[in-house]
Amino acid sequence: MRMKYILTYKGCGQPDLTELLNILRKYNVHLLDYSLSPKASMVELDSNQFNAINQLLKDSWHIEPEKFYKVPGARHTIKS
């Protein structure tokens, strides 16, 4: 099953994007949003490949599943 993950660079300076893209291509990872690139991106990959990719990237990159939060309503309600 394909899931979305957030990929965040945890090193200093600029990341080696060539190495990163080679790893992502090897595992058929889809780059969904790179608006915060080169420091962070949203990717989609098969969840069964997560551990292998995480091991390859663990020194320079942090990868975690996308999280959803429920935003509380701004309306005030009066209980009677």
Q: Which class for 4: exposed (0-12), middle (13-18), buried (19 or more C-beta within 10 A)? A: middle
pLDDT in tens, 35-63: 998 899 999 999 999 999 999 998 899 99
Q: What is the pLDDT of residue 37?
A: 87
Q: What is the pLDDT of residue 40?
A: 94
Q: Which tokens sit at 53?
A: 């990719």
pLDDT at 3 over 90: yes
Q: What is the pLDDT of residue 58?
A: 87
Q: What is the pLDDT of residue 78?
A: 76
- The DSSP string of 13-55 is S---HHHHHHHHHHTT-EEEE-TTTTTEEEEEEEGGGHHHHHH
Domains of the chain are 2-65 (3.30.70.80)
State the pTM of this model. 0.80
